[in-house]
Amino acid sequence: MNDKPKTMRDALIGRLCQLMQGRKDIFFLSGDLGAPALDELKTKFKDRFINVGIAEQNLINLSAGLGLEGFNVYSYAIAPFLTMRGYEQIKNNLSLLSEFREMNVNLIGLGAGISYDVAGPSHHAIEDINIMMILPEFIVFSPSDWVLAEKFADWSLEIKKPKYARLDSKLLPQIYKDDQKINFHTGFCELKKGEKVCLVSTGYMTHRALEVAAECAKIGMNTGVIDVFLLKPLNSDLIWNMLKKYDSIITLEEGFINKSGLDNAISNLLRTKQSNAKLIRFGFGDKFVLETGSREYLHKLNHLDKESIMKVVKEAMA
């Protein structure tokens, strides 16, 4: 494990800065959003860094143009503004156009879920999973730690498709080892094998899943944990091989449930496989998070805290 923890944004941007030294085909665009690692990048590569200002629609238009010219483009802004203010441009200029022309445009949204907790609902990104997963041609990446975010940089250069990476704004504990080989083709990792109940999580909620699994172990309950970092495409056959032994599957995401998120993807999989496993969904219901407070406080109000999940796991085990 690394002695110096990193934020997801600094890990990803830092790796891109290294890659830009040996490659002239990478552009980095910002919607007037900074980061410590970005200071070095924009100083070293002034000719390939563009700050478009607070103009997300123009950010997408410019990114699409560079992508059509064959450049590898990384476009960075606050998640809800990047995805929703520029959604028409994302649909027409990236999703639709990429069905006819190859382009590698990577949208980097900062502030996944409610990681901008005290900023309120305008800065929460709990619908971005839903709206980005329904777009054809798009890959949706939801890392749980900075190691995954860093390794995404190299992989993203190989896959010439539009992508959306939803990064947590907080400094989170490291889950994966620095030198661990990540299989992006698989798109998920079984972090813990279990019996009867499996927690299937993405992003920040993988930390909650591991926390719950650790508490379960203390009382003799062996709970599985699967971290899904590629929400789309979901490698259905491979993840089914992991899930088919469980009686109950619990999905955990910092997003709206019963719409088109991780829970819906797992639900469709279970239905396709004609599974009898019970599916339990944890996320936000059909309402915005209007209260103000820390992430832990907001989780408790919305029954995403450790105790609420533990109660359901115990019932499923019984």
Mean pLDDT across 57-63: 98
User: Same domain for 143 and 49?
Assistant: yes
Q: How far apart are CA 198 and CA 205, in angstroms?
A: 14
pLDDT in tens, 160-194: 999 999 999 999 999 999 999 999 999 999 999 99
**Number of folded domains that form the chain:** 2
Residue with tokens 């079984």: 190
In the predicted structure, residue 318 carries a pLDDT above the cut 90: no
- Burial letters for 208-217: b for 16+ Cβ neighbours within 10 Å, e otherwise? bbbebbebbe
How sure is the predictor about 4, in pLDDT bands with cuts at 50, 70 and 90?
confident
pLDDT above 80 (res 72): yes
Is 1 within the bounds of a domain?
no
Q: 77 and 225 share a domain?
A: no
Same domain, residue pair 278 and 132: no
Residue 256: half-sphere exposure toward Cβ, Cα within 13 Å: 17
pLDDT tens sequence across 261-290: 999 999 999 999 999 999 999 999 999 999
pLDDT given for residue 5 in this prediction: 83
CATH of residue 51? 3.40.50.970
Q: Has residue 239 been placed in a domain?
A: yes
Same structural domain for residues 57 and 150? yes
Residues 248 and 150 in one domain: no
The single residue listed with the structure tokens 């109950």 is 248
Does a structural domain hold residue 179? no
**Cβ–Cβ under 8 Å, residues 146 and 174:** yes
Same domain, 207 and 116: no
Q: What is the pLDDT of residue 243?
A: 97
* 242-263 tens-digit pLDDT: 999 999 999 999 999 999 999 9
DSSP string, the chain: --SS---HHHHHHHHHHHHHHH-SSEEEEESS---HHHHHHHHH-GGGEEE--S-HHHHHHHHHHHHHTT-EEEEEEEHHIIIIITHHHIIIIIIIGGGTS--EEEEEEES-BTSSGGG-TTT-BSSHHHHHHTSTT-EEE--SSHHHHHHHHHHHHH--S-EEEEE-SS-----S-TTPPP-TTT-EEEEE--SSEEEEE-TTHHHHHHHHHHHHHHTT---EEEEE-EEES--HHHHHHHHTT-SEEEEEEEEESSSSSHHHHHHHHHHHTT---EEEEEEE-SS-----S-HHHHHHHTT-SHHHHHHHHHHHH-
Q: Report if residue 172 sits inside a domain.
A: no
Residue labelled with tokens 């949204």? 109
Condensed to tens digits (0 to 9), the pLDDT of residues 95-143 reads 999 999 999 999 999 999 999 999 999 999 999 999 999 999 999 999 9
Residues 212 and 294 in one domain: yes
Structure token pair of residue 170: 């907080």
As a whole number, the mean pLDDT across the chain is: 96
For residues 96 and 195, membership in a common domain is answered with no
What is the per-residue pLDDT across 203-225, written as a single tens digit (0 to 9) for each?
999 999 999 999 999 999 999 99
Could you tell me the residue range of the domain that residue 288 belongs to? Answer: 188-317
Distances (CA, A) of 127 to 46, 103, 229: 34, 25, 17
101 in the same domain as 210: no
Question: Is 194 within a domain?
Answer: yes
Instruction: Supply the pLDDT for residue 1.
Output: 63
Asked if the structure places residue 154 within a domain, the reply is: yes
**114 lies in the same domain as 257:** no
CATH of the domain at 203: 3.40.50.920
Separation of alpha carbons 198 and 71, rounded Å:
41
Q: Say whether both 162 and 203 belong to one domain.
A: no
Confirm whether 175 is domain-assigned: no
Report whether pLDDT(3) > 70. Answer: no
Indicate if 74 and 160 belong to the same structural domain. Answer: yes
Q: Per residue in 11-43, pLDDT tens?
A: 999 999 999 999 999 999 999 999 999 999 999
pLDDT of residue 2: 62
Domain boundary among 135, 167, 199: 167
